[in-house]
């Protein structure tokens, strides 16, 4: 007889673990998570589905790292499909994963492929997303049911990546910059789902702050309302993506990966249930001239309004126009900041894994 009692299910999981089973794997299967097929398994079947029934496919490498308590860093896929043009997007994706590995963590790029959420992508899957570019649908939390039901490919935004990372048991996520309250948002109510996700999903987001095309003061106010811990890394001022300076003082400051990891651990210990934002300023040598970028932002915002660009098309439009208006310097800055964030995020993840390992002794 199969028991449906949650407590009995937990006891059964623990019993299997004590008798030699894999507790992490069993928990994932109970939640609809499956390990993606290995390369050998994939070669043995043309279809080789990684997960069915709306489950999440976790790559063998990522699953093994999580089960062993090794550091893992989640990476989003919208930056691949919509953040920059091909082939820079593919090259950057590979380089960012390489940076994560170089600093001792396992990268877990997240996307939806054929209607199945994947945590950890193969090189061919990265190529698939990068080559398709903006034809791949951007997927936020709200879009997951539709994209999965229709069997589509989807590039996950910050909110969807956070959600899927948390489902897989990943606590640290690196991206370029978070969404926020759009300029004029007090009238339009155009507020990114990233902010509400941060209020309810326990994942730390390592980023270069909020994108400078946004209303950063209102973004910080909204995060405060959501109860999200926000800190700047090695700075007193909250960064603004292309530039180190937003004009807004950060609510908190941390100076080392160990301090950031301690904050994450404290949030987990207190079971706060929400995420946090660690704003990492772009390296000084790569920062685009603030005045030039701000001028480009102002012009791009005017053009977006004149052309009636709305919703989730606004940010890609603005970033593309800013790249054009700055002669590509903003793209160089974008790539540099993502790599820098990846290095910091991997160090934070490693410090968190070390803390958790010590606590388990």
Beta strands in 114-153 (DSSP E): 116-119, 137-139
Which region, left, alpha or beta, applies to residue 74 given φ > 0 means left and ψ of -120 to 50 means alpha? Answer: beta
* Residue in the structure block whose two tokens are 């990891």: 261
Of the residues 97, 138, 197, 211, only one is catalytic, namely 211
d(CA 205, CA 172): 6
Closest CA to 352 of 251, 254, 279, 283: 254
The catalytically annotated residue of 76, 97, 138, 329 is 76
Read off the tokens for 180: 């926020």
Angle, CA of 42, 140 and 46, to the nearest 5°? 15
Largest distance between two CA atoms of the chain:
69
What φ, ψ does residue 22 adopt, rounded to 5°? -105, 105
**339 carries an active-site annotation:** no
97 is catalytic: no
Return the exposure string of 243-260: e unless at least 16 CB atoms fall within 10 Å of the residue's CB, then b: bbebebebbbbbeebebb
Q: What is the DSSP letter of 330?
A: H
In whole angstroms, what is the distance from residue 49 CA to residue 116 CA?
9
Asked if residue 176 lies in contact with residue 207, where contact means CB atoms within 8 angstroms, the answer is: yes
Residue positions annotated with a catalytic role? 76, 211
């Amino acid at each position: 007889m199969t028991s449906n009692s949650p407590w009995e299910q937990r006891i059964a999981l623990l019993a299997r673990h004590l008798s030699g089973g894999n507790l992490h794997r069993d928990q994932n299967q109970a939640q609809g998570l499956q390990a993606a097929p290995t390369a050998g398994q994939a070669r043995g079947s043309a279809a080789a589905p990684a997960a069915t029934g709306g489950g999440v496919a976790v790559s063998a490498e990522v699953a093994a790292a999580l089960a062993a308590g090794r550091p893992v860093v989640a990476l989003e896929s919208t930056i691949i499909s919509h953040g920059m043009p091909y082939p820079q997007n593919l090259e950057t994706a590979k380089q960012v994963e390489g940076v994560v590995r170089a600093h001792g963590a396992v990268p877990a790029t997240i996307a939806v492929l054929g209607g199945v959420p994947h945590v950890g992508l193969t090189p061919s899957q990265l190529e698939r997303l990068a080559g398709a570019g903006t034809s791949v649908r951007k997927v936020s939390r709200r879009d997951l049911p539709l994209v999965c039901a229709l069997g589509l490919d989807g590039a996950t935004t910050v909110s969807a990546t956070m959600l899927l990372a948390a489902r897989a048991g990943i606590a640290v996520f690196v991206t370029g910059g978070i969404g926020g309250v759009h300029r004029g948002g007090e009238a339009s109510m155009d507020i990114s789902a990233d902010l509400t996700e941060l209020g309810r999903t326990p994942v730390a987001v390592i980023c270069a702050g909020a994108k400078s095309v946004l209303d950063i003061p209102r973004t910080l106010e909204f995060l405060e309302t959501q109860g999200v811990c926000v800190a700047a890394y090695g700075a007193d001022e909250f960064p603004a993506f292309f530039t180190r300076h937003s004009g807004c003082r950060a609510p908190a400051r941390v100076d080392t990966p160990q301090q950031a990891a301690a904050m994450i651990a404290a949030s987990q210990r207190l079971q706060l249930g929400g995420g946090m934002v660690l704003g990492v300023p772009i390296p000084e040598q790569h920062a685009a001239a603030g005045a030039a970028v701000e001028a480009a932002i102002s012009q791009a915002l005017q053009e977006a309004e004149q052309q009636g660009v709305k919703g989730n098309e606004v940010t890609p439009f603005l970033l593309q126009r800013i790249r054009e208006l700055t002669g590509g310097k903003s793209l160089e800055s974008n790539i540099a900041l993502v790599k820098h964030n990846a290095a910091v995020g991997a160090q934070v993840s490693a410090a968190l894994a070390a803390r958790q390992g010590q606590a388990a002794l």
